[in-house]
Amino acid sequence: MSKHVRRQLHLDPTLCDAHGFCAELLPELIDLDEWGYPVFIAGGLVTDVPEDLIGEAKRAVSTCPAGALRLTKHE
Amino acid sequence: MSSHRLLPIDPQTGRARDLRSLASHAAVFGPLPMLPSAANGQPGELIDEIAASGLRGRGGGWFPTARKMQAVVESAAGRRQRSAGSRPVVIANAMEGEPASGKDAVLLAHVPHLVLDGIQAAAATVGATDAYLAVHRGTPSIDALDRAIAERRSDPVRVELITPPARYVASEESALSHWAGDDTATPVYGDRPFERGMNGRPTLVQNAETLAHLGLIARHGGAWFAEVGDAEAPGTTLVTVGGRVRQPGVIEVATGTPVSELLARCGYVDNPVEGFLTGGYGGAWVTSEALWSAEWAPAQVRNAGGVIGAGILWALDAGICPLHEIARVATYMAGESAGQCGPCRFGLPSVADDLTDLAHATCTKEDLDRINARLALVVNRGGCKHPDGTARFIATGLTVFSAEVAEHLRGGCSASRSGTSLPIPEVRKSPVKRAGKDFR
């Protein structure tokens, strides 16, 4: 039986400074609004990350200059 | 059965009695019983009465008070470190953040000791060692409150009066916790105050009215409290009624009172109104037809398309342009952003600008589409609910007053007179440049 691991990307909007790197790395999950702030395409401030995008999500977290992104793992 | 509980009425004048002295308070309400404190990870025994009362928070969320207190106790019990610095804190929210509300001021001006009793009851129930009463800076009642607190020498927990800046978002509960700990009244994203509030301590933030009810429940019990009112949200509640009524002000009614009756008590006799604002500037507009037959209880008002929030009901005069009112309030609310989150900081002012053009009938259909698109873009993206509430206020207004919107898009306006209805507080002129700068 394979364990389902759910990975989620969290955005802290009070830290985000609209650098926009996350949307470049993860266009599948993130748009930018007209002011340059990230919008999770699925809505809200937490979004599911599919298996094949985990590497890019990790890069987005580490390259965010504001430290506004966080990746979590729930089993 | 009298529906006056929080505000005893003087039969001579028909007005709420002035019970500011501890002696007059004790003579009317009787003594506050001794309340056993929370211990060994269990809440104080008053929790059973609070749960039985069905009391819900009157600050706007209408969340069950007993459950919130339980969460604070559990958070404190779950800590590895049990130092004094991890003990719970109680913050009484009497900030009156909604400009159209008057109930906190009325409570503090007439029955401040009932609120202070409620703080003691809450502190005992959650095992708090520190308690604060928050009123916004410049509130006229500050000296009287200092005297009231000084009169209560036998209180087990000392109450400190704190005065955060008079900003809309400063009364949000994470912002109050932030202010009490760090002197910055900006909302905090992520931490829930009942888990990590003031300086990381479990923090119970309750509205002043909720605490005043608690002062009565501590005396008379939960069953007594639930004798009146709506089954889902029992008791009485304070409503600030404003706009086109002959006697605007704060009244106490049983929850579930028909809106028509509530308005009649304030001297509303079949006045022509454009519509009603419920819940304040983070609330919702409702048509007269939808609201008239509703009962004043959270679920019923929600079903009518409104929101009770902190208990605000405003009848907008027929003749005053609703779109001007919406634009004025939207501009105020945009200026009240803490500036921490982009969608709120940039989204709200841009929407407010377009709404001002709409009010002046210089707005095109494309501009209106842009308003609606941006409203959708500010929701669920903030660290607090300021943009969400403001967006609801605007979006419901554009729907309820859609005929007037159409008239303005044609370059007209059906207002028969100029003038304004909704109150806008004085706002400092400088725009927010850095988050937190104007919140100290």
Q: How many CB pairs under 8 A join A and B?
A: 42
Which residues of A fall below an 8 Å CB-CB distance to B?
A: 12-14, 16, 18, 33, 35-37, 39, 43-45
User: Which residues of A are less than 8 Å from B190 in CB distance?
Assistant: 12
A12/B346 CB distance under 8 A: no
Taking the Cβ of residue B415 and every Cβ of chain A, the question of whether any pair is shorter than 8 Å is answered with no
CB of B224 within 8 Å of a chain A CB? The answer is no
User: pLDDT 10s digit of each residue in chain A, 75 long?
Assistant: 456 799 999 999 999 999 999 999 999 999 999 999 999 999 999 999 999 999 999 999 999 999 999 999 988
The pTM of the whole model exceeds 0.90: yes
Residue B81 has a pLDDT of: 67
B379 touches chain A (CB under 8 A): no
B342 and A37: CB-CB below 8 Å? yes
Distances (CA, A) of B21 to B15, B59, B108, B143, B393: 17, 25, 12, 13, 40
- Closest-CA distance, B340 to chain A, in angstroms, reads 5
pLDDT (tens digit per residue) in B167-203: 999 999 999 999 999 999 999 998 899 999 999 999 9
Banded model confidence at residue B39, pLDDT cuts 50, 70, 90: very high
CA A7 to chain CA centroid, Å, is: 10
**Interface contact flag, B380 A44, Cβ < 8 Å:** yes
Provide, as residue numbers in chain B, all residues whose Cβ is less than 8 Å from the Cβ of A13. Answer: 189, 340-343, 381-383
Q: Are strands B89-93 and B130-134 parallel, antiparallel or unpaired?
A: parallel
CB–CB of A39 and B341 under 8 A? no
Across the interface, do A35 and B346 touch by the CB < 8 Å criterion? yes
Residue in B188, B342, B381 closest to A18 by CB = B342
- Residue among B264, B327, B336, B260 nearest B294 (CA): B260
Note the pLDDT of residue B138.
87
What are the pLDDT digits (tens) for B80-138? 766 767 899 999 999 999 999 999 999 999 999 999 999 999 999 999 999 999 999 98
What residues in A contact B174, CB-CB < 8 Å? Answer: none
Which of A12, A14, A45 should we substitute to test contact with B (largest number of B Cβ atoms within 10 Å)? A14
pLDDT digits (tens, 9 = 90+) for B364-380: 999 999 999 999 999 99
